[in-house]
Structure 1
Amino acid sequence: MIFDLETTGTSCQLDEVVEISAVKVVSGEIVDEFSTLVNPGMPIPYYASEVNGITDDMVADSPTFEGVLRNFLEFVGDAVLVGHNIHTFDMKFIQRDAQRYFGKSIGNDYIDTLQLARTYLPQLRHHRLVDLADYYGIDAEGAHRALNDCRMTQQVFEKLRLEMENPSDAAKKVKKCPRCGNILRKRSGKYGEFWGCMSYPECKYTQK
Structure 2
Amino acid sequence: MQLQLHRPICFFDLETTGVNISKDRIVEISIHKIFPDGEEKTYTYRVNPTIPIPPATTAVHGISDDMVKDEPTFEQLAHEINNIIKDSDLAGYNSNRFDIPLLAEEMLRAGVDFDMGKRHAVDVQNIFHKMEQRTLVAAYKFYCNKDLTDAHSAEADTIATYEVLKGQLDKYPELENNIKYLSEFSTQRKSVDFAGMIVYNKEGEECFNFGKHRGKKVVDVLNQEPGYYSWIQNADFPLYTKKVLTAIKLQGFNK
Query: Aligning the two structures, in what range does the TM-score lie when normalised by the shorter sequence?
Result: 0.7 to 0.9
**What secondary structure sits across from 2:31 in the alignment?**
strand
Query: What is the RMSD computed on CA atoms of the aligned residues?
Result: 2.7
Secondary structure in 2 matching 1:19: strand
Q: 2: CA distance between counterparts of 1:30 and 1:93?
A: 27
**1:5 alignment partner in structure 2:** 14
Aligned AA for 2:67? M
**Is the CA contact (8 Å cut-off) linking 2:122 and 2:187 kept in structure 1?**
no
Matched, 1:43 2:41: no
Which amino acid in structure 1 is aligned with residue 128 of structure 2? A
**Number of the residue aligned with 1:111:** 122
CA distance in 2, matches of 1:48, 1:117: 25
Give the C-alpha shift of residue 42 in structure 1. 1.1
Alpha carbons 1:23, 1:30 under 8 Å: kept: no
Aligned to 1:34, the other structure's residue is in SS state strand
The one-letter amino acid of 2:155's match is: L
Counterparts of 2:164 and 2:49, CA distance in 1: 29
Give the share of equivalent positions with the same residue, in percent: 28
Contact 1:139/1:152, CA 8 A, preserved across alignment: no
Secondary structure (helix, strand or coil) at the match of 1:165 reads coil
The two structures have a TM-score, normalised by structure 1, of 0.74
The aligned counterpart of 1:69 is 78
Q: Tell me the residue number matched to 2:136.
A: 129
1:172 maps to: none
When Rg is computed on C-alpha atoms for both structures, the one with the higher figure is 2
- Cα displacement (A) at 1:67: 2.1
Structure 2 gaps of 5+ residues are: 1-9, 176-183, 202-255
CA deviations 1:178-200 (Å, max 9, x no partner) are 9x9418xxxxxxxxxxxxxxx99
Superposed CA offset, 1:38-70 (max 9, x none): 000111111111110111111011000012222
| Moved beyond 4 Å, runs of 4+ | 26-30, 199-205
Distance 1:101 1:182, change over 3 A: same
* Cα 1:112–1:53 shift into 2, 3 Å: same
Partners of 1:66 and 1:72 in 2: CA distance: 10
TM-score (norm 2): 0.62
Map residues 184-195 of structure 1 onto 2, 5 A cutoff.
Answer: none
The number of residue pairs the alignment matches comes to 176
Higher percent of residues as strand: 1
Q: 1:160 to 1:55 in 2, by over 3 A?
A: same
- Unpaired stretches in structure 1, ≥5 consecutive residues: 168-177, 184-198
Deviation at 1:105, TM superposition (A): 2.6
